[in-house]
Amino acid sequence: MKKKYKVIHLVIKVALLIIGFIIIGLIWWFLPILAVYQFSFGITISEMATLENQYRVTLTQAFGGIAILYGVYLSWKRINIAEDNLKATQKSLEIAKQEQITERFTRAVDQLGRTELEIRLGGIYALEKIASESEEYYSPVLEILTAYIRKNSGVNLQIKGKSLTYEPESIDFQANENANSEKINERKLPLDIQAILTVIGRRQKYFSNGESNRLNLQDVYLMGANFKGFHLEGACFRGSYLHGAIFIDAHLEGANFAASHLEWAKFRRAHLEDATFTVASLKHAYFRQAHLERSECFGAKLESADFTDANLYGARNLDIDMLSKVKTLHGARLNETLRSLLKEKYPNLFDHRPDTEMMLERLKV
């Protein structure tokens, strides 16, 4: 039935086209004759024929112009149709891509709940890939991964039956191998947690530079974790156990370490401007060349912390009693009033440390 209607439609089109050409031909032939007939008195037949031909040339040009305009219109219409088809195709592809990403996202999240480590690792790296491909899923992926750390490496879960005392590795390698191997293995992060930290460290965006949300690593247990060079601006580590964690060259501007345990943590050359250390434990922490401008230090425990060449200018709620317990302030930048009082009461804090002690410290860091 449809084929029959198509044939009829084609026949009608052809018939209309033929009729149209006949009408144009009649106009082209007879209109000049009628036009010239009005001026036929006083002119010869030859002149009449010349005028008719001139009229026909003019009509031919007019018909040609109309044909060109019609051709332009048809081309414009075809281009619009092509553009509409292209947009529809692109939209269909985008919908298909989004459906595929949604399916991959759901499958990857499901993998995180599996008991097999290999499958969980596959889910973690699948989520990383999705975050790099989809702006829509970027924030949810980070929220899921940080939630996974909080759930599977939370303080309450990890500290049961464990000692929270951190001791740095001995420089006696034989002693490490024989006496401390069990303690070192106990401190080692689970592979899935380390994988998530690796993903966080590899991301190209960070808070206030493409990310709208701060990383939430509150109340986590990440003893000895390696955050070297990470962008963790504005991250929340409130109440976390980060003994011996490595934050060398990390960007931690505005990070929140309130009530955290950061004993023996290494912050060499770290950017900690506007960071919060309220009632945090920073015993034996290493802040050599760190930037601590405008950081909040109310109630922080600074016993034996190393602030060699650190910038503490503008740090808030630092007092003489707190700083008197640090290991060294050699080369540190402080508010002038505080520096003068400390030099007067505790001049040894600004002394240059012996080379042997510096070498031992480098081995630790």
Domain with 268 in it: what CATH number?
Answer: 2.160.20
304 and 181 fall within a common domain: yes
Residue 207: DSSP 8-state: E
Q: What is the pLDDT of residues 50-73, one digit of tens each?
A: 777 777 788 788 877 887 887 888
For residue 58, what are the CA distances in angstroms to 54, 70, 89, 113, 213? 6, 18, 46, 83, 73
Q: What is the pLDDT of residues 199-234, one digit of tens each?
A: 999 998 999 898 999 999 999 999 999 999 999 999
Residue 153 CA to residue 148 CA, distance in Å, equals 8
Mean pLDDT for 290-316 is: 96
Residue 110 lies in a domain: no
Mean pLDDT for 331-345 is: 92
Mean pLDDT for 135-163 is: 84
Angle at which helix 45-112 crosses helix 2-37, to 10 degrees, equals 150
Least confident piece of the model among 143-157, 184-198, 330-344: 184-198
Residue 318 CA to residue 299 CA, distance in Å, equals 9
Q: What is the pLDDT of residues 156-204, one digit of tens each?
A: 766 554 545 555 554 443 444 444 434 434 457 899 999 999 999 999 8
Residues 308 and 288 sit within 8 Å (Cβ to Cβ): yes
Residue 89 lies in a domain: yes
93 and 172 fall within a common domain: no
Does 262 have pLDDT greater than 90? yes
Q: Which residue has the tokens 């269909």?
A: 92
The domain total for the chain is 2
80 and 168 fall within a common domain: no
Last residue of a domain, one of 97, 125, 151: 97
CA–centroid distance for 290 within its chain:
26
- Alpha helix ranges (H) inside the chain: 2-37, 45-112, 117-133, 135-152, 155-158, 173-179, 181-187, 191-202, 320-323, 336-345, 355-364
Distance from first CA to last CA of the chain, Å, rounded? 85
93 and 182 fall within a common domain: no
pLDDT value of residue 42: 63
Last residue of a domain, one of 75, 97, 119: 97
Q: Which residues have C-beta within 8 Å of that of residue 139, sequence separation ≥ 6?
A: 211, 212, 213
219 and 85 fall within a common domain: no
Instruction: Supply the range of the domain harboring residue 28.
Output: 2-97
Residue 145 CA to residue 121 CA, distance in Å, equals 11
Residue 193 CA to residue 67 CA, distance in Å, equals 72
Residue 105 lies in a domain: no
Residue 334 lies in a domain: yes
